[in-house]
């Protein structure tokens, strides 16, 4: 049986672990709040961009642009968005699993990976997937510049015909305790088909084709940007939940240990008394 001092030591160690997980939970909560604010701030732009694009496409559907070109898919690219670190429950495992399942559906084609985050890169590298790009420096609140960098690479791979289709696998943020791995097609761009309310008489300056050629790259960047945002919010949410339950588990463990500590202490005292009484009895007897 564990001695009193052993138990005491364990309690102390669990307590300091609990302090760490508690701090990590609070840090994740603060980061989540910041990311969420950024997500809300980014919404008007996204919505408007989609609206303009769908108006444009509705006005005359036979546009040409390298980003709209549909090709027979010989090689498919996957952008897998994961975190740089663990300690966030099933966050990384879930998104990677989703990516693996999606890639399995493209068994007849070649598959290439652009890994975002150390976790995805390490996973796929260990299993000898073909990693053709890695992005490890996405900040806690993603910036447009980061999204742009990634978009440039994706665009180049596509326009040079290395990839014929590109998908992005990321985690959709539902709320702080629930996130869902999702897959979306990035390229070729499938223009949003939103119903426009009969007001199609737009002028386009200088002309629709040119506006479209300018708009599509921005749309791609924006798609990637919002995926990165969602993924980061999910990561912070998952970390928060994981660290929250770790803190709770630590509390439970401390309670149990305290109980056995008291029992052990009690037993030691009882035994001591029994020994004294036994000794006294032996002397007087």
Site residues, another protein (CB under 8 A): 38, 41-42, 44-46, 48-49, 51-52, 55-56, 143-144, 147, 199, 201-206, 210-211, 214-215, 218, 221-222, 225
CA–CA separation, 230 and 145 (whole Å): 16
Q: What is the smallest separation between the CB atom of 209 and another protein, expressed in angstroms?
A: 11
Three-class secondary structure of residue 51 per DSSP: helix
Nearer to another protein, 45 or 260 (CB): 45
Nearer to another protein, 218 or 253 (CB): 218
Nearer to another protein, 41 or 282 (CB): 41
Angle 223-225-227 (CA atoms, 0-180°, nearest 5)?
A: 70
What is the 8-class DSSP label of residue 117?
S
Nearer to another protein, 36 or 92 (CB): 36
Nearer to another protein, 54 or 249 (CB): 54
Q: What is the smallest separation between the CB atom of 146 and another protein, expressed in angstroms?
A: 11
CA dihedral 260, 265, 270, 273 (to 10 degrees): 170
Q: What is the smallest separation between the CB atom of 44 and another protein, expressed in angstroms?
A: 5
CA dihedral 107, 230, 239, 174 (to 10 degrees): -100
The string of DSSP codes covering 88-109 is STTHHHHHHHHHHHHHHTTTTS
């Amino acid at each position: 049986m564990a001695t009193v001092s052993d138990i005491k030591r364990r309690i102390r160690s669990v307590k300091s672990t609990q302090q760490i997980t508690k701090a990590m939970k609070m840090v994740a909560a603060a980061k989540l709040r910041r990311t969420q604010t950024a997500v809300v701030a980014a919404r008007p732009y996204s919505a408007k961009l989609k609206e303009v694009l769908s108006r444009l496409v509705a006005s005359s559907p036979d546009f040409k642009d390298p980003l709209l070109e549909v090709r027979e898919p010989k090689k498919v690219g996957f952008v897998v968005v994961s975190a740089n670190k663990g300690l966030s429950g099933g966050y990384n495992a879930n998104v990677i699993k989703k990516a693996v399942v999606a890639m399995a559906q493209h068994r007849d084609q070649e598959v290439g990976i652009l890994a975002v985050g150390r976790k995805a890169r390490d996973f796929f590298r260990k299993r000898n997937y073909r990693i053709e790009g890695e992005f490890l420096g996405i900040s806690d609140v993603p910036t447009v510049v980061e999204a742009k960098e990634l978009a440039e690479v994706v665009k180049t791979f596509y326009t040079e015909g290395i990839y014929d289709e590109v998908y992005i696998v990321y985690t959709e943020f539902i709320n702080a305790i629930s996130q869902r791995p999702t897959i979306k097609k990035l390229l070729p761009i499938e223009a949003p088909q939103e119903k426009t309310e009969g007001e199609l008489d737009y002028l386009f300056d200088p002309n629709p084709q040119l506006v479209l050629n300018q708009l599509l790259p921005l749309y791609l960047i924006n798609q990637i940007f919002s995926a990165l945002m969602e993924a980061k919010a999910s990561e912070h949410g998952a970390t928060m939940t994981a660290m929250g339950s770790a803190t709770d588990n630590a509390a439970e463990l401390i309670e149990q240990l305290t109980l056995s500590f008291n029992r052990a202490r009690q037993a030691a005292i009882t035994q001591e008394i029994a020994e004294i009484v036994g000794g006294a009895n032996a002397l007087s007897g």
